[in-house]
Chain A
């Protein structure tokens, strides 16, 4: 009987320790599960405390946004007083994870007055061979995240099966983050994750300094060609696939229900990138974006041709000087006009979009600013 009591207590206590840690992470230390999200959330909360009741304009996006958008201190909102902005771009994400992060933020009590959502065109085409749910680090997810992603995944069961073992022993799954926080001398240098490299220079407004720089033009070209090549399979046979379509629909529907005024935007791309889109891909993309604007009444800012090639590291991630230049123009040509007018019904001309939009250059001409 003693043996049974020992084993039973052992099992129960072990389970309690795992569940307890999961709850603790959710409540007090989300950075232990998802370092980048946790860090940005902490910065967002700190900024929120500093800005008081001023409305928040949250910018949600991928690594393009994370490194490329450097918010101004304040943007005057004509009718509602000054708004403040925060960059919540997260590396390695796409439309499915943007939905996931939005839900996380809403659950955490973050309620932006306005939301800018990045559209990353190649990531609208996801296949079973390449999709967010295949590449996502499941250790960063809790069961609510998996539920959200599974709704838009090709193989939801596989995602659950991949995630389940990591959820059974969070003390093991998140051990590197826990040790780094509570016993920083114990983890070794190799266990420093990719997040650490990108998190090092994250500013109070959420913008992260891109950590690399090409040594010369030759290297920049080489890196850009390689990066464009990675996206080639998505662009060659481009269509907006079911998963991203569903994710964006759910995101925009959620914003509508939560009364969050929303706009979509495309981040700059280098000329090699822009040239890589076949005509059919561009047509399908434009058609889809027009459909979204009609259905949800959202503005769209196409900044894809705004930056010179030298302002990028790899044709998609802006260097700090590129981020400064892009942000200045984006604030002036897109954000300020958007904030200064009332909502316009879909189909009507939108001054902000007219100022912001530039047609993509099929001939490859650079847009020099």
Chain B
């Protein structure tokens, strides 16, 4: 069930009331666990079984790692759990992709063999919970965390419904202690949770789903649209994916706060980034930090030669792209970002020995230009992320960079311009600290009235047909 659906509203209300009615901490854990499995099973009951079984295995393997002092045994158990989780991910998500790619390669080489495809359903959230299980096992192995001795607690860490299907990717050392802590009703926390949820709902209903109305028809048939429509579609998609994913995360954070839990921030105004490195410190923070801690650094990080750093960056970003979906377009998107990161490192070095250039870039116009360039680069890269084929992506670029006739945008651009300005203003207000200052000084009733109006606006602007969250497919 989607966070912005009536079913979730009813489900969450029941869980919330039951949760805060119970005075027993452990009973609350069982309630959340049951609710989380119910939430997951609402998509597919059999896949709920898979997550239950894999989580149980991860629990026992981690306890085995923690209780052993034999380095070989510990490494072996770690390998078992990492391979099992990656194997699960590869089977459900990538098996058919690899088979199809192999078949294509064989056909290109002259073979006429056809490979059978597997009938698999992609378990929702598998990319997220396998990564959580891996980071937990690695943290236990590195002795950065103790293995959880309570199976229910560990299961709740993996399956906690606010973050289960689309993150953020939670670290065990951040979440497990929260389960053991007593929870007390706190009005300020309830307000914070409701605020986050409202923000997410507005981003999803009023902005993301509406931007999809501009982007989807154009990406589906780019050859029918003119140059300006193609550019508007790319801008719309940039807004859509940000508001969709960060909106989901805000609702996840809000739901967690309302239950007394804190999840890590996953977005920090990424389109206000002045370079691509900063973008990856602000976009999908839980994934980028996971890739940094469990892939980039173990590969050697930036500790070696420039060539080694470049290699590690490319491997990390390429696999990061592949993580998003079983399609070569995602791989190319990852490679593009890896290239941009490498280019930025080189440019940074270039500027470092040119103080005048650096000073110019640090001025307000220079900063604005850097932000604009970063946004443009990211938006153009999104074309590969959104297009389902290279032909489609190529057609989009062709439409955008050669003046092409065709249909105008699928919808009048007024709503896109207004909402783009809203997102821009929100970024300015947040990055300048203006929102925080205003919100703290605003009388409580005025704040409450504002929230009521924002909620009403979100409900008013929701398009006729709702859309699933983009990151649910990952």
B414: Cβ under 8 A from any A Cβ: yes
Interchain CB contact (< 8 A) of A9 among B410, B447, B464: B447
Interchain CB contact (< 8 A) of B452 among A13, A179, A183: A13
Task: Name the distance in Å between A13's Cβ and chain B's nearest Cβ.
Answer: 4
Q: Is the Cβ of A185 less than 8 Å from the Cβ of B190?
A: no
A176: Cβ under 8 A from any B Cβ: yes
A17: Cβ under 8 A from any B Cβ: yes
Task: Name the distance in Å between A181's Cβ and chain B's nearest Cβ.
Answer: 12
Smallest Cβ-Cβ distance to A187: which chain B residue: B464
Chain B residues whose CB sits within 8 angstroms of the CB of A5 once the complex forms: 444-445, 448
Contact with A along B433-474 (1 / 0, CB 8 A): 000000000001101110111011001111111000000000
B187: Cβ under 8 A from any A Cβ: yes
Smallest Cβ-Cβ distance to B447: which chain A residue: A6
Q: Is the Cβ of B460 less than 8 Å from the Cβ of A188?
A: no
Chain B residues whose CB sits within 8 angstroms of the CB of A176 once the complex forms: 464
Contact with A along B400-433 (1 / 0, CB 8 A): 0000000000111011000000000000000000
B88: Cβ under 8 A from any A Cβ: no
Task: Name the distance in Å between A32's Cβ and chain B's nearest Cβ.
Answer: 12
Considering only CB atoms and an 8 Å cut-off, how many residues of chain A contact the other chain? Answer: 32
Smallest Cβ-Cβ distance to A186: which chain B residue: B415
B146: Cβ under 8 A from any A Cβ: no
Q: Is the Cβ of B6 less than 8 Å from the Cβ of A3?
A: no
Q: Which of A164-172, A234-242, A291-299 lies at the binding interface? A: A164-172
Q: Is the Cβ of A171 less than 8 Å from the Cβ of B459?
A: yes
Chain A residues whose CB sits within 8 angstroms of the CB of B459 once the complex forms: 169, 171-172, 175
Chain B interface residue number, banded: 20 to 34
Chain B residues whose CB sits within 8 angstroms of the CB of A187 once the complex forms: 464
Task: Name the distance in Å between B14's Cβ and chain A's nearest Cβ.
Answer: 15
The CA-CA distance from A187 to B460 in the complex, in Å, is 11
Q: Is the Cβ of A171 less than 8 Å from the Cβ of B460?
A: yes
Main secondary structure, interface of A, reads helix
Q: Is the Cβ of B460 less than 8 Å from the Cβ of A17?
A: no
Task: With A3-B187, A8-B448 as known contacts, state yes or no: A14 contacts B464, CB within 8 Å.
Answer: no
The CA-CA distance from A9 to B464 in the complex, in Å, is 29
The CA-CA distance from A17 to B452 in the complex, in Å, is 8
Chain B residues whose CB sits within 8 angstroms of the CB of A165 once the complex forms: 6
B299: Cβ under 8 A from any A Cβ: no
Contact with B along A155-179 (1 / 0, CB 8 A): 0000000000100010110011011
Q: Is the Cβ of B451 less than 8 Å from the Cβ of A10?
A: yes
A80: Cβ under 8 A from any B Cβ: no
Interchain CB contact (< 8 A) of B462 among A11, A175, A190: A175
The CA-CA distance from A191 to B465 in the complex, in Å, is 8
Chain A residues whose CB sits within 8 angstroms of the CB of B213 once the complex forms: 188
Chain B residues whose CB sits within 8 angstroms of the CB of A179 once the complex forms: 460-461
Task: Name the distance in Å between A193's Cβ and chain B's nearest Cβ.
Answer: 9
The CA-CA distance from A185 to B411 in the complex, in Å, is 8
Q: Is the Cβ of A4 less than 8 Å from the Cβ of B460?
A: no
Chain B residues whose CB sits within 8 angstroms of the CB of A171 once the complex forms: 456, 459-460
Chain B residues whose CB sits within 8 angstroms of the CB of A27 once the complex forms: none
Chain B residues whose CB sits within 8 angstroms of the CB of A185 once the complex forms: 411-412, 414-415
Contact with A along B189-222 (1 / 0, CB 8 A): 1111010000000000000000001000000000
Task: With A1-B187, A2-B444, A188-B213 as known contacts, state yes or no: A9 contacts B449, CB within 8 Å.
Answer: yes
Q: Is the Cβ of A188 less than 8 Å from the Cβ of B444?
A: no
Chain B residues whose CB sits within 8 angstroms of the CB of A3 once the complex forms: 186-192
Chain A residues whose CB sits within 8 angstroms of the CB of B465 once the complex forms: 190
Smallest Cβ-Cβ distance to A18: which chain B residue: B456
A46: Cβ under 8 A from any B Cβ: no
Chain A residues whose CB sits within 8 angstroms of the CB of B415 once the complex forms: 183, 185-186
Task: Name the distance in Å between B292's Cβ and chain A's nearest Cβ.
Answer: 36
Within 8 A of A (CB), among B372-419: 410-412, 414-415
The CA-CA distance from A10 to B195 in the complex, in Å, is 10
The CA-CA distance from A183 to B460 in the complex, in Å, is 11
The CA-CA distance from A185 to B213 in the complex, in Å, is 13
Task: Name the distance in Å between A243's Cβ and chain B's nearest Cβ.
Answer: 28
Q: Is the Cβ of A13 less than 8 Å from the Cβ of B449?
A: yes
Smallest Cβ-Cβ distance to A193: which chain B residue: B464
A136: Cβ under 8 A from any B Cβ: no
Chain A residues whose CB sits within 8 angstroms of the CB of B462 once the complex forms: 172, 175
A7: Cβ under 8 A from any B Cβ: yes
Contact with B along A68-101 (1 / 0, CB 8 A): 0000000000000000000000000000000000
Chain B residues whose CB sits within 8 angstroms of the CB of A188 once the complex forms: 213, 410-411, 463-464
Task: Name the distance in Å between B460's Cβ and chain A's nearest Cβ.
Answer: 5
The CA-CA distance from A169 to B444 in the complex, in Å, is 24
The CA-CA distance from A2 to B190 in the complex, in Å, is 11
Q: Is the Cβ of B414 less than 8 Å from the Cβ of A7?
A: no
The CA-CA distance from A1 to B451 in the complex, in Å, is 17
B contacts, CB < 8 Å to A: 6, 186-192, 194, 213, 410-412, 414-415, 444-445, 447-449, 451-453, 455-456, 459-465
- Please, could you name 30 A-B residue pairs with CB atoms under 8 Å apart, sorted by A? A2-B187, A2-B188, A2-B191, A3-B192, A4-B191, A5-B445, A5-B448, A6-B444, A6-B447, A6-B451, A7-B187, A7-B194, A9-B444, A9-B452, A10-B448, A10-B449, A10-B451, A10-B455, A11-B448, A12-B448, A14-B456, A171-B456, A171-B459, A172-B462, A176-B464, A179-B460, A187-B464, A188-B410, A188-B463, A190-B465
A contacts, CB < 8 Å to B: 1-14, 16-18, 165, 169, 171-172, 175-176, 178-179, 183, 185-188, 190-191
The 8 closest A-B pairs by CB, nearest first: A9-B448, A3-B187, A13-B452, A3-B191, A172-B459, A5-B444, A185-B412, A191-B464
